[in-house]
Structure 1
Amino acid sequence: MGIWTNQVDHDDREQRVVPRQPNTVLASLLAQVGWSPRVLAQRINHAFGHGTVALTTPYQWRDAGRVPRAPLPALVAWVLSRELGQPVTVAELWQGQASDSPLMLPADVEMGLPWTKAGTLGVIDDWVMSGLLDRRYFLAVSGTALAAATSLAVFSEAGSLTSALDGGGVGHPLIQQIEQSIPLLQRLDDANGGGAHLAYVGAQFRAVAVLLRQGGHTSAIERRLFAALAELGQLAGWMAFDAGQHGLGQRYFFTALRAAKEARNRSMAAHVLGDLGFQAATREQPTDAVALGTAAARLSDGVPATVRASVASRLAYGYAIAGQLAEFEASYQSAQEALTDRKDYEEPEWMYFLTPNHLDTQAGYALVHAGTVNTDGDRAARPLFRKGEQLLRSGAHDFSLSHPSQRRALFEGAWLAVAAASRGNLEQACSVGRTAIARIRNVHSPRSISVLRTLASRLRRRARNEHVADFLPTLDAALAR
C-alpha cells in the first residue's frame, strides 16, 4: 500500500462536495498530457504507492467537480507538473476549493530509473523542476529501498576509473567558473554548518543541472558538467544531512552517484556511498551502515589513498554502531594505513579535509556514539567512552572561535563533552560544553545540536553536582534557542 494509504480517496465519503460542474482546468490539463482520469490515478499510484487513489475516483474530480481531501490535491498538482514540465498549483487546479499541503515523500521516489545517461537526465529533470514548485519533505529510506537506490553494478564497466577531466581542456570559461567555485562552497560548510547555506548550494546544483539538460555540449564538456554535478550533489547531500534533513540528503547523494557514474568518477562514487553509510551510522541503523560502507570499500579498490582512507573510516563508524568492535578496529587501522600510500595517485581536491587527526577524532566519536547506544550495560560501554575521549582530545574541540573549521569544532566538542560526562568527569564535560555552545551563534548544524541534547540528558542525571548545576541552565537555554 502507498504511504498515503490512510487517506485513500475511495468513495464520496472521503470527498468534500462542491457545485457539480466539471473541473474544466483538470480536464484541459489531462487533455494536454493525453491522459484519461484512470491514467492519472495510475500515475499517482506509481509515484506514491499502490492504493493511494482508486482508479475511478479521478473521473469524479474531472466530470463532477469533486475535490479530494489533502494531501491528494497537492499530489495531483505535482504529478501533472512533472508531466507538463511547468508548475501547476493547487489553487489553480482546484479553483481555490482544495486545501494545500506539503508533500511528504520517500527519498527514493522516482529514483528507480535505469542507470544510464537517459535515466540520470530523467532524475536531473526533477531537480530542475523542483526549483519552481518544490514543497516536498523527503523521508529517509532504509533497507531494500536504500540498497536499490545505490546499486552500482554499472561501475564494473571498462574505463570507469578514467578521470572526468580527461580531454576536457580548460578553455571553457563557464565550466572553469563552476569548478573553481566548488572549493569555496565547501569552506562555507566547514565554517557555518550544513543548515546555513544549503539553499544556496542547492541552487548551484540546480544551475549545473539546467546546463546539462540544455544539451549541445561536447562529450568532454558534458563529462565535466557531470563531474561538477556529482561534487555539488555530494556537498549538498552532506549539508542536508548535517542540517537534519536526512531524506533530502539521501536524494542529493542518490543523484550524485548517478552523476559520478556518467563522469566515470569512481572515486566520487565511492566517497558518496561512504557518506551514505556514515549517515546511516549517525541515524543508528547499523545494518544499512555496514552494507553501504562495505559496498563503498569494494568500489574504492584502486582509487586514491585519501578516498580509500575516508571510505574505511566511515565503514569503521558503521561497525562501531553495530557493536562489531574487532571489525571497527581493523577498518580504522586500514584507514590509517591508506594515508601512508599517497605516491601512486593524484589526490582529489575535495579530500582536502582528510588528515590522520581527522581519522582519529572520527574514530573517537564513533566509539562514544557506540557507547551511548550500547545495550550491554555501563561496564561494556566504559572502554568505549575512555578510548573515544582519548582520541577526541587531540581534535578540534579547542579551536579558537575565529578558526575556519567551526562546524567540526562544535561537533567534536559536543562528543568530547558526552564522553567526559559518561565517564563521570563532570567538570571537564561542562568546560568543554561551554566552549561548544559558544560556537552555536555562528554554526547552524542540527546534527551537532542533537549531540548537545545527548549531553544535556546525561548531565540531568547528575543535576546536583555543582558544575552541572551551574552549566545545565546555560546549555538548556542554548538548545531552546
Structure 2
Amino acid sequence: MRSMSGNIGANIRRLRLARGWSQSDLARRVCRAAGLRSAPVGRQEISRYEVGKRVPREWLPVIATVLGVTVQDLTAEYQPPDLPLPSLDDYLPAGDPLASLSGRRGPRIGAETVDNLRQRVHGLRLADDVLAGGDLVRPALRELRSAIRLYREKSHSADVGLALLSQIGEVAQIAGWIASDAGQHEEAELIYRLGVSAAQQAGDATLAGNLAGSLAYQMTNTGREAEGSRLARAALEEAGATAPAKARALYLDRVAWSHAKTGDAQPAMRALGEAGEALTRADGEPEAPAYLYWVDEGELQIMESRVYTELRRPLRAIPLLRDVLSRYDATHQRELALYLSWFVIALADANEPEEAASVAKRVLTLSTQVSSERTASRVRVVLNRLEEYRDVPQVRAVLDAA
C-alpha cells in the first residue's frame, strides 16, 4: 500500500499525464490559479510531489482545482479497474469489422494472396526501423483496412481465412505501434484490441501475446502504469510456456519495464533475468515468427539499461548504455535518439552534467529529423531533467538552444 505522499504523487502524475501537461505546464497553471506572478511552485517542485519526496500541503487545494478534482481525489489510493485480456466480444463494437459478410462477392483468394500480404506487412516493419510514426501512419492504416476487406469481402477456404486473421493481427501490431509513435494513442489502442481479437480467432496465442504486450507497453508509457503492468503479465500468460523463446524474452522485458515504471525494483530485475534466460534457449528452437526478427541480446541489454535508469541506478545503467550505443545502427535514428535520451538521464543521475549535455545535444539533433511523438516526449524529459544543472555552462547552452 502506498503512503499518503505516494498516493498524492501518483494521482497528480496520473491526472497531469491524462491532460497531456508537462510538469512545467502544471506548475504554471498552479501559480496562475493562485494569482501569483512569481513561481514558488516550479517544475522541480511538481517533480518532488509526484515521486513522493514532498507533500504539497497548502498547495493541495490549488492543485486539485487546476486538475479539476477534489482534495479527497488526490489523497485517495488509486485503484485502476481490472483489465482482462481483450477479446472480440468485450471490445469490438456492433458491426464487427472482422465479421465475414454473407453473400461475399469477388474472386476466391488463396494462399498466394496471404503470402503477398505477409510480405507487405514485413516491409512495413522494416520501414518502421528507419522511419517514424508520423511518416508511416497513413500507409499502415491503409494496409490494415485492406487486410480486413480481404477477409470480409472475398471468398476463401477456412484455412486461408485463419491465415488472413493471423495477418490482420500482424498488421494490427505494427500499425498500432506506428500510430502510438505518432502520438495517436486512442487509435493505437483500438487497433491493438482489434489485432488481439483477430489473433485469438486464428488460434495464435503467441501473436495475441505480442499485441496485448504492445498495448501494455503503451499504457505503461502514458500514465497507466498499473493497468500496463497487469496487461504485460497477462500477455505473458496468454502466450503460454510453449511460446517461442524470443517471444517470452520480449514479453518478459515488457513485464520488467512495467515494474520499473511503478518503482518495483525486485520484480523488474527478476523479469530481466528471466528474459535473458529465455533468449539463451532461442538457438535450439525452430525459427521464431518473422515479427520477432529484432529481438536479440542487444535489445535486451537496452531494456536492462532503461530499467536501471528508471530505477535511478545509473552506475548499472551507464556501462550497459555505453556498450550497446557504441555499436548501434545509426540508420535507426528514432531508436538511437530514444536510447541516448536514457543515457542523458543516467549521466545526470550520476552527477555528470557536462557529458549529459554533450549527449543531449545529439538527442536534440536526431529528434529534429524524425516525426515521432515518442521521441519528442523523451526530449521533454531530457530537458526537464537537465534544468537541475542549468548553472553548468554546457547544460545552459543546450537548454537555451532548445
| TM-score, with length taken from structure 2 | 0.71
Q: Does residue 386 in structure 1 map to residue 361 in structure 2?
A: no
Aligned mates of 2:260, 2:163 — CA distance in 1: 37
Distance 1:366 1:437, change over 3 A: same
Look up the equivalent residue of 1:349 and give its one-letter code.
A
2:96 aligned to 114, 123, 147, which one? 123
Aligned mates of 1:245, 1:286 — CA distance in 2: 18
Q: Secondary structure at the match of 2:281?
A: coil
Counting helix residues as a fraction of each chain, which structure ranks higher? 2
1:306 aligned to 215, 222, 246, which one? 246
The CA RMSD measured in Å over matched residues stands at: 2.6
Q: Does residue 319 in structure 1 map to residue 259 in structure 2?
A: yes
2:89 aligned to 100, 103, 114, which one? 114
Aligned mates of 2:112, 2:345 — CA distance in 1: 48
1:337 aligned to 277, 287, 290, which one? 277
Aligned mates of 2:375, 2:306 — CA distance in 1: 12
Partner of 2:176: 237
Look up the equivalent residue of 2:89 and give its one-letter code.
P
**Given that residues 367 and 375 in structure 2 are in contact (C-alpha distance below 8 angstroms), is that contact kept between their aligned partners in structure 1?**
no
**Given that residues 234 and 256 in structure 1 are in contact (C-alpha distance below 8 angstroms), is that contact kept between their aligned partners in structure 2?**
yes
How far is 1:184 from its partner?
A: 1.4
> Where does 1:49-60 land on structure 2 (aligned, <5 Å)?
none
Aligned mates of 2:323, 2:375 — CA distance in 1: 19
Q: Does residue 188 in structure 1 map to residue 117 in structure 2?
A: no
2:292 aligned to 337, 348, 351, which one? 351
Look up the equivalent residue of 1:328 and give its one-letter code.
A
How far is 1:442 from its partner?
A: 3.1
How far is 1:262 from its partner?
A: 1.7
How far is 1:368 from its partner?
A: 2.2
**Given that residues 226 and 262 in structure 1 are in contact (C-alpha distance below 8 angstroms), is that contact kept between their aligned partners in structure 2?**
yes
**Given that residues 397 and 432 in structure 1 are in contact (C-alpha distance below 8 angstroms), is that contact kept between their aligned partners in structure 2?**
no
Distance 1:204 1:242, change over 3 A: same
1:212 aligned to 112, 126, 151, which one? 151
> Where does 1:126-141 land on structure 2 (aligned, <5 Å)?
none
Distance 1:188 1:396, change over 3 A: farther
Aligned mates of 1:431, 1:399 — CA distance in 2: 18
**Given that residues 232 and 258 in structure 2 are in contact (C-alpha distance below 8 angstroms), is that contact kept between their aligned partners in structure 1?**
yes
- After TM superposition, what 4+ stretches of structure 1 lie above 6 angstroms from structure 2? none
Partner of 1:276: 215
Aligned mates of 2:247, 2:93 — CA distance in 1: 24
**Given that residues 361 and 392 in structure 1 are in contact (C-alpha distance below 8 angstroms), is that contact kept between their aligned partners in structure 2?**
yes
How far is 1:398 from its partner?
A: 6.9
How far is 1:359 from its partner?
A: 0.9
Look up the equivalent residue of 1:245 and give its one-letter code.
Q
1:365 aligned to 300, 306, 324, which one? 306
Partner of 2:234: 295
Gaps of 5+ in 2: 1-82, 102-108
Aligned mates of 1:388, 1:278 — CA distance in 2: 20
How far is 1:305 from its partner?
A: 0.6
Distance 1:360 1:316, change over 3 A: same
How far is 1:242 from its partner?
A: 1.7
How far is 1:436 from its partner?
A: 1.9
Partner of 2:354: 427
How far is 1:285 from its partner?
A: 2.7
Distance 1:114 1:215, change over 3 A: farther
Partner of 1:409: 336
Q: Does residue 174 in structure 1 map to residue 113 in structure 2?
A: yes
Aligned mates of 2:295, 2:309 — CA distance in 1: 20
Partner of 2:66: none
How far is 1:270 from its partner?
A: 0.8
Total equivalences in the alignment: 308
How far is 1:469 from its partner?
A: 2.0
Partner of 2:60: none
Q: Secondary structure at the match of 1:354?
A: coil
2:385 aligned to 458, 477, 480, which one? 458
2:374 aligned to 447, 453, 457, which one? 447
Q: Does residue 247 in structure 1 map to residue 186 in structure 2?
A: yes
How far is 1:171 from its partner?
A: 6.4
Aligned mates of 1:407, 1:115 — CA distance in 2: 35
Aligned mates of 1:206, 1:350 — CA distance in 2: 20
How far is 1:287 from its partner?
A: 1.6
Aligned mates of 2:90, 2:363 — CA distance in 1: 43
**Given that residues 98 and 151 in structure 2 are in contact (C-alpha distance below 8 angstroms), is that contact kept between their aligned partners in structure 1?**
no
Gaps of 5+ in 1: 1-107, 129-169, 372-380, 477-481
| TM-score, with length taken from structure 1 | 0.60
**Given that residues 97 and 148 in structure 2 are in contact (C-alpha distance below 8 angstroms), is that contact kept between their aligned partners in structure 1?**
yes
Distance 1:399 1:361, change over 3 A: closer
Aligned mates of 2:371, 2:380 — CA distance in 1: 15
**Given that residues 389 and 419 in structure 1 are in contact (C-alpha distance below 8 angstroms), is that contact kept between their aligned partners in structure 2?**
yes
Distance 1:440 1:231, change over 3 A: same
